Amino acid sequence: MGNNNIAGRAQYVAVAALLTVALASCGVIAEQARPGGGATAAPTPTAALTPTATPSPSAAATPTPGAGPVCTAVRCTSVLVTGDMLVHAQLWQQAHEDAVAGGVKGLDFGPLLEGQRRYIEQSDLAICHQETPVAPPGGPFSAYPSFNVPPQIAAAAKAVGYRACTTASNHTIDQGTEGLTRTLDVLDAAGLEHTGSYRTLAESRGILILQTEAARIAVIAGTYGLNGQAPEQPWQVDMLDAPAMIAKAKEAREQGADIVLAAMHAGDEYSSAPNAQQLQVAHALADSGQFTMVYGHHTHSVLPVEKYKGTWIAYGLGNGVTELSPAYVVNNEGLLLRAQFSQDSAGRWTASDVAWAPSVIVSAPYRWCSVAADAPQGVCASPAADADTRLRTKQVVESMGAVQAGAHELLVTKDR
């Protein structure tokens, strides 16, 4: 493991303190959603409803190379995405131990995520997936099958560099409307923008559009299901519905989005190949011509990357963070994916560079760790285990022609 970035750790402490104060002052802990799923008094995130009204970049504008690889176009921007942020009891116990060690009050998830910082810093925008609802800061907490996890994970995600999170998953309403609302309030307090679940009907009609120096990037999410549960209102969670997602993408384009991403929460758990639903929906989204890239999570395993009719699809990014599974080794692995988007002379944006880094969760202490060939954090589990993880991930990622289409491993130590 690398040493924690001192400035980043200070930022984490500041954000965590701000989150605690914001939750207390807003009464998030005691809030109850109105009957029928109405919103509480929590503020509505501006970006989700009113995208920044700046002109769309034109070919005549100042060149903007963006972060990441060398930009061969006039304008580039890079987006980093990761898989499920799935907090279990072992992780919040680790966060307690790290808080004690660091002199931080409460829970400190910063060290767990710290390895991702270097990748995020070399990207223009980083998006995580908050799979589960969060509890009040002091709990009670619960894990599978009905999650209610520590909210301090949001402050850690913000501090390490994430700017937004998707929230549509099969666990979104594990704690009902109250848990859904509390989760969005916590993300707001941490300074993380979000999409995929909503407090109000008006909020559900908004589209998350995120501005980088070069482009406006819309994110549209959907989940295959809710574990047999039903939300109080159908608009509370975005479902995996190709026509509805395409309609949102068209609206995003009308609002000035240059790049539109689809985040699919779907697939067969612990599989190494996409299922029929994933293929059908992803291909329908690509065929619409409205999406610049499609990516997914949920299976708790890495899935292939494919370039389908010119559109990149990463079917499954595995786990961003999770506890170690004694039964499924793939559960402990993940894929960090960074796409650089370039604007051509006609003003069209496409993914010009797609790169991925394999990762693994290690314990004692629990940490996210990259097992990419350049080993930016050193040895993760052991030299042999790291090599096995990297090979297993590489074989799956490349099983649908990713290499031939131009995707490659992300060596963060060799960027630029």
Residue 237: CATH number of its domain: 3.60.21.10
CB contact at 8 A, 216 and 52: yes
pTM greater than the 0.85 cutoff: yes
Q: Which domain holds residue 135?
A: 66-414
Could you give the CA distance from residue 411 to residue 391 in angstroms, rounded to a whole number? Answer: 15
In a domain, 187, yes or no: yes
DSSP result, 330-392: GGGEEEEEEEEEEE-TTS-EEEEEEEEEEEEEETTTTEEEE-STT-TT--SS-HHHHHHHHHH
Per-residue pLDDT of the chain (416 residues; tens, 9 = 90+): 433 343 444 444 444 444 444 443 333 333 333 223 333 333 333 344 334 334 444 445 688 999 999 999 999 999 999 999 999 999 999 999 999 999 999 999 999 999 999 999 999 999 999 999 999 999 999 999 999 999 999 999 999 999 999 999 999 999 999 999 999 999 999 999 999 999 999 999 999 999 999 999 999 999 999 999 999 999 999 999 999 999 999 999 999 999 999 999 999 999 999 999 999 999 999 999 999 999 999 999 999 999 999 999 999 999 999 999 999 999 999 999 999 999 998 999 999 999 999 999 999 999 999 999 999 999 999 999 999 999 999 999 999 999 999 999 999 999 87
Contacts of 298 (CB under 8 A, 6+ apart): 84, 169, 170, 223, 224, 264, 265, 266, 267, 269, 316
**Within-domain flag for 296:** yes
Residue-wise burial string across 34-67, b where 16 or more C-beta atoms lie within 10 A, e elsewhere:
eeebebbebebbebbeebeeeeebeeeeeebbbb
pLDDT for position 249? 98
Q: Per the domain annotation, does 344 fall within a domain?
A: yes
Rg of the Cα atoms in the chain: 20
* pLDDT at 345 (0 to 100): 87
Contacts for 47 with CB less than 8 Å, ≥ 6 apart: 193, 208, 209, 210
Does a structural domain hold residue 15? no
398 within some domain: yes
- 45 domain residue, yes or no: no
Residue 270 tokens read as 């612990």
Place of tokens 């931080």: 104
Residue-level pLDDT at 61: 62
Asked if residue 222 belongs to a domain, the reply is: yes
Q: Residue 384 domain-assigned? A: yes
Task: Domain count for the chain, please give it.
Answer: 1
- What confidence score (pLDDT) does residue 257 get? 98
